[in-house]
Amino acid sequence: MLNRPQRDLTMANTARAPGAARVDHLVVAEMVAPGSRVLDVGCGDGELLRLLELRGVDGRGIELSREGVNDSVAKGLAVIQGDADTDLADYPDDAFDYVILSQTLQATRKPREVVEHMLRIGRHAVVSFPNFGHWKIRLKLLFGGQMPRTNNLPETWYATPNIHFCTIKDFRQLCGTVGAKMEKAVALNAWGKPLRLPAPWWFWNLIGEQAVFLLSRRK
Amino acid sequence: MAEARLKTDLRDRVGEAETPHSHVVSFGPDKPLKLDAGVELSPLQIAYQTYGTLNAARSNAVLICHALTGDQHVANLHPVTGKPGWWETMVGPGKPIDTDRYFAICPNVVGACMGTTGPASINVRTGRPYGLEFPVVTIRDIVRAQAMLLDHLEIDSLFAVAGGSMGGMQVLQWAASYPDRVFAALPIACATRHSAQNIAFHEVGRQAVMADPDWRDGRYLAEGTNPRRGLAVARMAAHITYLSDAALHRKFGRRFQDRANPTFSFDADFEVESYLRHQGSSFVERFDANSYLYLTRAMDYFDLAADYGGILAEAFRGTKTRFCVISFTSDWLFPTVESRAIVHALNASSARVSFAEIVTDKGHDAFLLDEPELFAIVRGFLGSAGAARGLPG
């Protein structure tokens, strides 16, 4: 479930020079203070963790897929095999400064509980997800009459591991429900580049292909 | 003829227990080993092998802990069997535990029979082999003796401690007992306690040894006998637990051994029978039956959490050690769930921990075999730990 199906975003991969970090990873990394302790939930092959460690972060990862874990461990990263839906409960309160969930939220069975655990384990949570409210997706459902598929989300409805898609508006609502404070939010275009223009939420929800939120516990 | 061979075996084995083909350090009455059983073991001899070179900062030492029936001959020809060392795939120049970079040390454990004091050693008070007069030892005692060896070698801090099975138990004990002396820990295919099922298998093995009339209440070395059959049966039973149903089926299936049809007798008709008999009979050539009793007992008594009020996380509280825990999918002796318990406790202690489960059908023994994924993980883990330790790349 956490093998991060969108990790190999075809277009996101084109948004960088070979060997360079993915742009959406850079956006996440910018939200993390250097020298802090980070847990990356659903860390895939460990690319984001490696980027964070280069920036002096003490990083740990959980990943569901064995290949992802073994690749990461062989890279020297502190990654364990585990499932966000079941294993976050085992972590003590305040164990980390940041808990990151990058492109994984929509693949969890219980997104609300996962976000709640993230805010319990870490002082901050960073969540990135594909925005199902993007205008292309809306048009596909409206005119095609089928579950939308895009370059970034190419699987059919019956094969996709993404069982809990949401929009930026939906996620903002969830933040309110779980009592999370939104410290920062960035919408990204199809290439993972941040949309830097000032705009109201409804506009971001229409043109952002992905979103990255920095949350903290409401006191 | 058989009698003569038997006597030679015994002399060889007592010889290896007393004057091994290894480095030896002896601790006199001034430095006894204090045992969990409440007694002291003295004099104490520890036999060990080393590979590679200790650097000037004395910071690149890797302690390798051997398993129940292993010994210190990790990466050289075995002096008794003439076979390659038990971890030659893992330890050596350019290998994952790279002896071009690291200084590997493997001591024979207390209670074993390859040169470290054990039941086959001569008790200086009686002039006879200890036999059952040898005190019962624990994993903690074994580790305490290893710490004495490292003190003697003036190695304050180990770069890494690595081992599988009973060796993995020692790794965990090291991390708990001497957290400041262990930079990185690699417990493989092990658990923080021996399960009821594992104790049960060990008891079968011990009863097989003790049921052999040649065991003579443990005095066989003094009386010139050898409980070969009992020890061989113990080994055969144990060996099954080191493999898996799938591996046995793949290797042997129901194939007959050198015959086309069953003989309607109790000969070793099946290949798997012949294989097990070979495992049993070759084992008794190199291993002491009493050592088998003592070391299985040490594993049975191992329960790390029990030493910390039943809370495993307390064993690792505040640890700075980096851990890499590894299990194998088909290992039913030390199944993955046991490794997960270790990881869970380490997470609760906020330790830096990696955990990988490797897919294989080779069972518990996979840690000794050619498993490329295991090698890649160990290499990567030690490589990054080495960089953090400031070892040259």
Per-residue model confidence as pLDDT tens digits over A157-180: 999 999 999 999 999 999 999 999
Say if A95 falls within a structural domain.
Answer: yes
Interface mutation vs chain B, best among A37, A39, A50, A70, most B CBs within 10 Å? A70
> Is 60 exceeded by the pLDDT of residue B254?
yes
Q: How far apart are CA B145 and CA B115, in angstroms?
A: 13
Give the closest of A76, A79, A81 to B383, CB-based: A76
CA of B216: how far to CAs of A180, B204, B283, in Å?
72, 18, 20
> Is 50 exceeded by the pLDDT of residue A6?
no
* Active-site annotation of B, residues: 165, 331, 364
Give the closest of A66, A73, A95 to B350, CB-based: A95
Residues of chain B with C-beta less than 8 angstroms from the C-beta of A73? 324, 354-356, 377, 380-381
Nearest CA in chain A to B380: A74
Condensed to tens digits (0 to 9), the pLDDT of residues B80-94 reads: 999 999 999 999 999
Q: How far apart are CA A170 and CA A167, in angstroms?
A: 5
For chain B, strand residue ranges (E) read: 23-27, 33-34, 40-41, 44-51, 61-65, 91-92, 97-98, 103-107, 122-123, 128-129, 158-164, 182-188, 322-328, 352-358
> Which CATH number belongs to the domain containing residue A19 in this structure?
3.40.50.150
Count of C-beta atoms within a 10 Å radius of residue B130:
24
Give the closest of B350, B355, B373 to A81, CB-based: B355
pLDDT at A3: 37
ipTM for the complex?
0.81
> Can you state the angle between helices B289-301 and B228-242, rounded to 10 degrees?
40
Structural domain of A170: 10-217
**Interface contact flag, A78 B385, Cβ < 8 Å:** no
| Residues whose CB falls within 8 Å of the CB of residue B2, separated by 6 or more in sequence, listed in order | none
Rounded to an integer, what is the distance from CA B24 to the centroid of its chain?
19
Interface mutation vs chain A, best among B342, B354, B358, B384, most A CBs within 10 Å? B354
Say if A2 falls within a structural domain.
Answer: no
Mean pLDDT of A100-112: 95
Q: Which residue has the tokens 């010889």?
A: B15
pLDDT at B292: 98
Q: How far apart are CA A148 and CA A194, in angstroms?
A: 23
Say if A1 falls within a structural domain.
Answer: no
Closest CA to B22 of B72, B86, B91, B84: B72
| Residues whose CB falls within 8 Å of the CB of residue B203, separated by 6 or more in sequence, listed in order | none
pLDDT band at A19 (very low <50, low <70, confident <90, very high): low
**Interface contact flag, B353 A72, Cβ < 8 Å:** no
Q: How far apart are CA A6 and CA A27, in angstroms?
A: 16
Q: How far apart are CA B221 and CA B130, in angstroms?
A: 9
Task: Specify the amino acid at residue A46.
Answer: G
CB B25 within 8 Å of CB B46? yes
> Is 90 exceeded by the pLDDT of residue B234?
yes
Quick one: chain B helix, strand, coil %, rounded to 5? 45, 15, 40
Ordered alpha helix ranges (H), B36-165: 139-152
Q: How far apart are CA B9 and CA A87, in angstroms?
A: 53
Nearest CA in chain A to B313: A92
Q: Does domain B201-296 have CATH number 3.40.309.10?
A: no
Nearest CA in chain B to A92: B348
The CATH class of B2-198+304-389 is alpha beta
Q: Which of residues 31-90 of A touch B (CB under 8 A)?
A: 58, 60, 66, 69-70, 72-82, 90
For all residues of chain B together, what is the average pLDDT?
Answer: 95
What are the extents of the domains in chain B?
A: 2-198+304-389, 201-296
Cis bond upstream, residue B262 (ω within 30): no
Rg (CA), chain B: 21
Say if A3 falls within a structural domain.
Answer: no
pLDDT at A151: 85
Condensed to tens digits (0 to 9), the pLDDT of residues B268-280 reads: 999 999 999 999 9
Residues of chain A with C-beta less than 8 angstroms from the C-beta of B183? none
Number of domains in chain A: 1
3-state secondary structure of B97: strand
Say if A154 falls within a structural domain.
Answer: yes
**Interface contact flag, B357 A78, Cβ < 8 Å:** no
Q: How far apart are CA A53 and CA A100, in angstroms?
A: 14
> Is 60 exceeded by the pLDDT of residue A184?
yes
Give the closest of A73, A92, A95 to B356, CB-based: A73
- Token pair, residue B229, equals 């059959």
B343 to chain A nearest CA, in Å?
8
**Interface contact flag, B353 A91, Cβ < 8 Å:** no
For chain A, report the end-to-end CA distance as a whole number of angstroms. 32
